[in-house]
Structure 1
C-alpha cells in the first residue's frame, strides 16, 4: 500500500483507540493528545521527533504551570494576568534558544494545552495530586506523542511500493 493510504489507515485506527481510551480508561483530554500527536509529526517524527516533541510540549506545560501559579498567588486582575502571561510568553521564547526546544510553536502547544486543561477541568493549578491540570495535560501530551510514534511505525509497516515492471 502506498504511504498516504498506509498512514490513513494507521492514523484512523489509532485515532479510534485514542478517543476510546481517553473516554474510558485514561481520563485526559483527547484534544490534547491530538495536539501532541500532530506536534510529533511537525517536529520530524521518528525517535528524535518524539524526544523533541515531548521535551518541547512539557516545557510549555512547566512554563504554563508556573504562570498559572503566579496568577493564583499574585492575583487575577486583568492587568496582573496579562503581565504574567507576557512573562510566560517571553520565557517560552527564551526556552526555544535551547537546541532541543528550538521549535517555539511546540512549546506554545504545551502551554496552551495546560491552560485549556485547567479551564476544561475546572480545577485550579494548585490542585494537589493526580487531578492537577498540569499533570493531566502532561500525561495527555506524552500519550499523544506515543500515538504519533506508533502511528508512524504502523504506517511504515503497512507501506510497500510496487516495483516497476522490467522489460
Structure 2
C-alpha cells in the first residue's frame, strides 16, 4: 500500500477513535487533539517530532495560562488585556529561541488551544479542579500527540514494499 493510502486509512480510523473517545469517555476538546496531532506531523513525526510537539504545545499552554492569570488580576480593560496578550506573545517568540521549541507556530497552537478551551468550557484559568481549562487542554495536547505517533506507526505498518530482484 502506498504511504498516502496507508496514512489515509490509519488517520481515518484513528480519527473515529479520537472523536468517539472525546465525546464519550474523555472530557477534552477533540479540536485540541487534532491540533496537537497535526503539530506532531508538522514537527517531523517520530520520537523527535513527538517530543518537540509536546514540549512546544505545552510551552504555549504555560505562557497562555500565565497570560490568562495576568488578565484575571487586571482591571479587565481592553488595554490591560491587550498588554497581557502582547507580553505573552513576546514570551512565545523568546521561548522559540530554544532549540527544542524553535518552531514558533507549535507554541502558538498550545497558547491558542488553552485560550480556546477556556472559552469553550466557560471555566476560568483559576478553577481549582480537574476541569481547569489548562489541565483539560494539556491532556488534549498530549493525547493528540499520542494519536499522531500511533497514526504514523500504524500508517507505516500498513505500507508494503515489493522486493523486486532482477536476475
TM-score norm. by structure 1 comes to 0.97
Extract structure 1 runs of 4+ deviating beyond 2 A.
161-167
Q: Which is worse superposed, 75-84 or 86-95? A: 75-84
SS of aligned partner of 1:138: helix
CA distance in 2, matches of 1:130, 1:153: 31
Q: CA deviation at 1:74?
A: 1.4
Gaps of 5+ in 1: none
CA distance in 2, matches of 1:163, 1:6: 18
- Map 1:92-131 onto structure 2 (within 5 A): 92-131=92-131
Q: Tell me the equivalent position of 2:67.
A: 67
- Map 1:79-158 onto structure 2 (within 5 A): 79-158=79-158
Gaps of 5+ in 2: none
CA distance in 1, matches of 2:83, 2:139: 28
CA distance in 2, matches of 1:61, 1:89: 12
- How many residue pairs were aligned? 167
* Alignment RMSD (CA, Å): 1.0
CA distance in 1, matches of 2:53, 2:28: 18
